[in-house]
Chains A and B, each alone.
Chain A
Amino acid sequence: MDFSYSEEQQMLRDSIGKFISQDYDFDSRRAIVDSDTGYSMEHWKTFAELGWLTVPFKETDGGFGGSAVDLMVVMEEFGKGLLVEPFLANTVLAGTGLSEAANEQQKQTLLQPLMEGNLQLAFAFAEPQSRYQLADVQCSGQIEDNQIVINGHKAVVLNGEAADKLLVSVRTSGQTTERHGISLIVVDADSAGISHRAYTNVDGHRAADIWFDQVTVPVSNLLGEADKAIEIIEMVIDRAALAVCAEAVGAMQISLERTVEYTKIRKQFGVTLASFQALQHRMARMFMEVEQARSILLMAAMEMDRLDGRAPRALSAAKSRIGKAARKVGQESIQIHGGVGVTDELDVGHYFKRLTTIQYQFGSTDFHTARFAGS
């Protein structure tokens, strides 16, 4: 047993940490969130140059190695800086889909440019009625004469506007919620029949609702086999869940640090807030939440790398526990800051927002608790 990072993982962590502290302070981040695109193309290029966009991919595909532990290292650092560049949408969601299901040619045309930072992708899986059930797919894909005709509505697609191509889950056969009959299809974002409504999420990330109206693509755009995509989609979403768990751990750590620092400076009743035992105890509990979260995250990442089928259960344990911690740490950091905590001006509020949205992405705390119980 060994819980230490490899030399490469340490270097990766340090280089991201350095980037965040030098180029990604709170004000620069705010400017990026407020910009037209919602992310910095320049930073994205830098990520590509530094090789960060290759992290979750196998060496045989030209990647860094593709372990879940590597991904965890990256996302935790991103979480500390509340990074809004579309790493999750591109590299984690779409990237995992490609790495698991793409054929050689698709890897060439999609995965390569993705790792080089020259292609923007989005993974469109959720629907207005589906909540967290990945097999609840109503968006239809009718296969006829070497073509697939897509109709339907995908909800809150991360990076949905900037994406050049969309990876879309569609029902090619069977009934809604049936596991069999779901396919993944690559669709050009500018295909005829696609319309979208883009917006910024409460956490600063960009997303869009996307409608497909008789959108036609060749059958060769299938990613993997027709009707059999559910397991790939589950793998993708579990990866994404692990990624946001790691992000949450990074964000929680900063929230805790900020809160402790603040209570040492802010005075009321002639003494620092830190001197009130009522608050001390609560910060101690926050600390324990972060530690428990970190532990279960490590467990899940390592289980995921064993590839022996135990990953989903481990992941659900992590997402459930980390969701609980994120909630507690986020809320307490606001409360202990008092009024300034609820303002837009201070960073803790923005950590709180991200810690909130993470609880409801890729399966909520309750969803994963139930999945754990049933597995």
Chain B
Amino acid sequence: MNIDFSEQELAFQAEVRAFLQAELPAQTSEKVKQGLRPSKEQTVAWQKILHKKGWMAPNWPVEYGGTGWNSTQRFIWETERTAFGAPEVVAFGVKMVAPVIYTYGNEEQKQRFLPDIIQSNVWWCQGYSEPNAGSDLASLRTAAVQDGDDYVVNGTKTWTTLGQYADWIFCLVRTGGPDMKNQEAISFLLIDMKTPGITVSPIYLLDGTPEVNEVHFDNVRVPVTNRIGEENKGWTYAKYLLTHERTGTARVAGSKQRLTALKAKAANTGDGGQVLSENPAWQQKVAEVEIELLALEYTELRTLAAVSTGKAPGPESSMLKLIGTEVQQAIDELNVEMAGYYGLPFVPEQLDDDYDGLMIGPELAANSAPAYFNNRKATIYGGSNEIQTNIICKAILGL
């Protein structure tokens, strides 16, 4: 056992830092550090910079354009990226649909879709959940019925994150008959969002942003060639993808960066003649979160180490998601608490890039409550924390 970086790893760290120093646009990192979502343009611009460097897809096999990094290198990358305030890449393309395409897609599909994903030419969104199929995803009802060379798709997907930006959507649809078992009646379809019959309507979240959407399919014709793998095997592919989705949701590096920023800020936050960072109750609270995060960091490293020696990320990834999101939310809450009365004003315009008016309250305060409200989603999406708990009960404890 050894936690020090090797010479080579230190050299890699230096390379990463130099790259971020030189290439990361200042306005983008400023936004990320404030907990704001960069615009579509900022995100795509950054991803194109990453691609130019060859670092867009650390999770892909080298043959398709992956970096070939080991788990330590990935860890270094994540740590440095977040410390510099570089945005996370949008997961839907490179981290979600791409692994399904290169694992289960045919040659033609790989040729057709993977380059646009790694080059960030196409924005993907995820069409799994439906109004009546949330935690029980397999009960989804969006139907795809074959008609000649096409499927005709009808139904409603919901909670589609950033669907308003998307060029393509990957969907789980029901292709099997009503008497078939749900898990054996689902197919995995790639759908061009410009196809006639698709309408996207925004859903506003508690922070006032239309981050998610409802996507309606009204007799949408999708070529059968857009199906990944076999008909009615979509559930298997989706489950494979879900474990991918869960690793990385711990966001350890991001939480560390945010805690560091929080502590620095608390040292400058007035507390009735003193500073907040010296308030014992505050110190205790921050320390508890930090300690939990430290443990989580090593839990994640242990999991990653096991994966790199050949094991697939198993049900342990549920734990990373669960504790990781709890820590994220604890930090969200500390930000609100630190803001005190300045956590109350909701002045969304002052979060805009081009806002040059008077700022209400100190830095980090303005978005603290909206971010806290919004991020309650973290324990709900990607398989809620209750569902993750159920997985641990079943798959690990054998209950």
Q: Which residues of B contact A182 (CB under 8 A)?
A: none
Q: How far is the CB of B349 from chain A (nearest CB, A)?
A: 10
B369 close to A356 (CB less than 8 A): yes
With an 8 Å Cβ cutoff, the count of chain A residues facing the other chain is 50
Interface bits B355-387 vs A (CB < 8 Å: 1, else 0): 000101110000001101110110111001110
Give CA–CA (A370, B284) in the complex, Å: 13
Task: Known contacts A202-B373, A353-B206; decide if A209 and B360 are in contact (CB<8 Å).
Answer: yes
B134 close to A343 (CB less than 8 A): no
Q: Which residues of A contact B376 (CB under 8 A)?
A: 331, 334-335, 341-342, 352
Instruction: Determine, out of B24-32, B163-171, B185-193, B338-346, the stretch whose residues face the partner at the interface.
Output: B338-346
With an 8 Å Cβ cutoff, the count of chain B residues facing the other chain is 53
Considering only residues 189-213 of chain B, those with a C-beta below 8 Å from chain A are: 203-206, 208
B272 close to A130 (CB less than 8 A): yes
Give CA–CA (A341, B204) in the complex, Å: 11
Q: Is B178 an interface residue (CB 8 A)?
A: no
Q: How far is the CB of A215 from chain B (nearest CB, A)?
A: 19
B370 close to A339 (CB less than 8 A): no
Give CA–CA (A186, B339) in the complex, Å: 28
Interface bits A172-209 vs B (CB < 8 Å: 1, else 0): 00001100000000000000000001011111010101
A131 close to B206 (CB less than 8 A): no
Q: Which of A136, A342, A352, A356 contacts B377 (CB 8 A)?
A: A342
Q: How far is the CB of A152 from chain B (nearest CB, A)?
A: 14
Interface bits B260-272 vs A (CB < 8 Å: 1, else 0): 0000000001111
Q: Is B103 an interface residue (CB 8 A)?
A: no
Task: Known contacts A342-B376, A369-B281; decide if A133 and B273 are in contact (CB<8 Å).
Answer: yes
In the complex, number of A-B residue pairs with CB atoms less than 8 Å apart: 143
A361 close to B341 (CB less than 8 A): yes
Give CA–CA (A370, B274) in the complex, Å: 15
Give CA–CA (A201, B372) in the complex, Å: 14
Q: Is A5 an interface residue (CB 8 A)?
A: no
B343 close to A197 (CB less than 8 A): no
A207 close to B373 (CB less than 8 A): no
A360 close to B343 (CB less than 8 A): yes
B273 close to A352 (CB less than 8 A): no
Q: Which of A201, A270, A341, A342 contacts B346 (CB 8 A)?
A: A201
Extra A-B contacts (13), CB below 8 Å, given A342-B377, A349-B373, A360-B341: A126-B341, A128-B361, A133-B271, A156-B344, A200-B346, A202-B369, A202-B370, A279-B386, A338-B134, A338-B135, A342-B380, A343-B203, A364-B337
What are the 7 closest A-B residue pairs judged by CB atoms, nearest first?
A: A133-B272, A129-B270, A177-B273, A344-B204, A268-B136, A156-B341, A366-B281
Sampled A-B contacts (6; CB under 8 Å): A132-B272, A276-B386, A338-B135, A338-B380, A352-B206, A356-B373
